[in-house]
Amino acid sequence: MEKAELARRLAEIIGSEYVSGDPDTLFIYSHDMTENEPSEPDLVVMPDSVEEVQSIVRLANEQRIPLTPFVAGANVGGLAIPREGGIVVDLKRMKRILEVNEDNMYVIIEPGVTFGHLRACLDNEHPRFRYAYPLSPPYTSVMCNALLDGLTNLSTKHGDMSEWINSLEVVLPTGEVVNIGAAAASKYWFGRAPLPDLAGLFISWQGTTGIVTKMAVQICPKYKYRKRMFVMAYDIDSFFAFVRRCAWTQLYDDIAGFSWPAAKMMVARRVKLTRDPDEPELGAYLDFSGDTKKEMEFKEAMVRDIIKELKDKGIELEPPLLVDDLVKINPDYLKLAEFPTTLDFLIDYGGGGFTWVGSYGPMSKSEEGTKKLFAVMEKYGFPPFLVTRPMKGAHYQVLRFIAPFDKSDQEQVKKVRELCREMAESLLDLGFIPYKAPPWAAELILKRADPNWVKLLKTIKNTLDPNRIMNPGKWGL
């Protein structure tokens, strides 16, 4: 179908003002902050309802035109870059919070609901409840984070955000709408059990099996008291000994970690970073809450007891630094403790480029993985920037290595690509698996994966999307 005719038919569905083939608009959708190769769509559409999404999908399926779902497009490893042109389906107009069910502790949202939207809604209208927030800007999509196994400031206790998904409404590649989870058989979207759990057909599939148009996610009670602190460690082994010991207590909402470049980038910006040998190598961030002062006093005392216990064994740790005290010295430090957060200190430092290789894997390999990946980053001339936390009650660990870079410098872009590939290979060697895997990383995973798993993956894709229109090129599909 000619582009002009396709634009006309799409305009009949959603209105001409929400269909664009303008070169400046197409350029915006052709790239993200990462080093992944740009690629322009033919058209961009912005539907406002599930019915409009259905009509767009039916037309694309009929004409075999590729579709790429999109919301914010912020730093997702090229997952929203349209590899084969076609239509980008920008869902940001679908930004309604459809229900906040306090009794059953869930909210039903559309794709365009951001972390900023949801936090404002809960803080202002449902102050007894909270959601979990990532180290991401407030304009990023709650739904995308959950569908892509993202992590947040409650992941230490609860795991990645896909585990917070109760039910889904999905437009299949043929245009039909299906409800998944409790929503398939109940007016209450309370969970995924006890029905056969088909949500896995759409979680972490990177939009290759359908477009999710509604999602119920869990919310949690907000407690009366909250305290946050940093504990600094002078070496990698000491840091993980402390983090592991705290995680095993099951007392803390969040136990995150960051390496020394994180704090320095906030004040140094584009100045070359160096670490004095006497400075801590990593810092642990603890966030905990409770309903009584006695409960809070116990949790804080437990941190100090753990520090003493480890110091008695020769592990060098600093006493806790309270976040409230630190921000009095430099308010920028709140960016490492209050989520969602802007990433300006990272993007500004690098020169507009920002990438990372994040992975989930065995806690037992955390020290080895960190040391190995720090050496790789330093080999390529990048500061050893790590964000890490134990996940789901310390059953596994996230290691996320971050590299700001100058997107205008093609030599640096090339170097970043080589860096990311070597980091992903090294993590896979240790048993870690990249999450939100961009196409090049997905290829590495598929080469190592069980062949029958890969075969099943392709069978599911071909069954749900026989005309192969949904976000082609992702997951090697």
Q: In CATH, what number is assigned to the domain containing residue 146?
A: 3.30.465.10
- At residue 114, φ and ψ (nearest 5 deg) are -95, 170
Question: Which tens digit of pLDDT belongs to each residue from 411-467?
Answer: 999 999 999 999 999 999 999 999 999 999 999 999 999 999 999 999 999 999 999
- Give 232-279 pLDDT, tens digit per residue: 999 999 999 999 999 999 999 999 999 999 878 766 655 677 888 889
CA distance 23 to 14: 20
Q: Percent of the chain beyond pLDDT 90?
A: 86
- Please check the confidence at residue 383 and state whether its pLDDT lies above 80: yes
DSSP string, 145-203: HHHTT---TTHHHH-SGGGGEEEEEEE-TTS-EEEEEGGGT-SS---STTS--GGGGTT
Q: Which structural domain range is residue 105 located in?
A: 97-221
Within this chain, do residues 28 and 109 fall inside the same structural domain, yes or no? no
Virtual CA dihedral for 415, 419, 425, 429, nearest 10 degrees?
150
> Same domain for 336 and 406?
yes
Number of structural domains, the chain?
A: 3
Whether residue 207 has pLDDT greater than 70: yes
Same structural domain for residues 240 and 366?
yes
pLDDT greater than 70 at residue 115: yes
Checking if the pLDDT of 77 tops 90, the result is: no
In-domain check, residue 383: yes
pLDDT for the residue numbered 72: 87
Mean pLDDT within 282-303: 96
Task: Clarify whether residues 234 and 212 are in a common domain.
Answer: no
439 in a structural domain: no
Q: Region 152-169: what's the mean pLDDT?
A: 96
Q: Pick the last residue of a domain from 174, 198, 221.
A: 221
Claim to verify: residue 211 and residue 286 sit in the same structural domain: no
Q: What is the pLDDT of residues 308-358, one digit of tens each?
A: 999 999 999 999 999 888 877 777 766 666 767 766 666 666 678 889 999
Structure-token pair, residue 240: 């993980």
Contact 332, 267 (CB under 8 A): yes
Q: What confidence score (pLDDT) does residue 199 get?
A: 98
Say if residue 286 is in the same domain as residue 414: yes
User: What's the chain's average pLDDT?
Assistant: 94
State residue 262's pLDDT score. 84
pLDDT at position 337: 64
Highest mean pLDDT out of 21-25, 71-75, 340-344: 21-25
Between 77 and 152, where is the model more confident? 152
Whether 376 and 190 have beta carbons less than 8 Å apart is answered as no
Give the span between the Cα atoms of 73 and 33, in whole angstroms: 9
> Do 239 and 311 fall into the same domain?
yes
Instruction: Flag whether 7 is in a domain.
Output: yes
Do 257 and 357 have their domain in common?
yes
Residue of 1 and 399 predicted with greater confidence: 399
CA proximity to 155, closest of 345, 349, 387: 387
Locate 434 and state its tokens: 């990249």
Assigned domain for 361 exists? yes
Q: What is the CATH number of the domain that holds 51?
A: 3.30.43.10
In a domain, 464, yes or no: no
User: Tokens 């790590």 — which residue?
Assistant: 386
394, 282, 287, 400: which is closest to 337 by C-alpha? 287
Same domain, 86 and 153: no
Q: Which of 92, 127, 146 is where one domain is finished? A: 92
In a domain, 461, yes or no: no
Within this chain, do residues 429 and 303 fall inside the same structural domain, yes or no?
yes
- Tokens 């990593």 correspond to 282
317 and 184 both lie in a single domain: no
Give residue 347's pLDDT: 66
Q: Is residue 449 situated within a structural domain?
A: no
Q: Is residue 42 part of a domain?
A: yes
Residues 370 and 257 in one domain: yes
Per-residue pLDDT at 327: 76
Quickly count: other Cβ atoms within 10 Å of residue 451's Cβ.
8
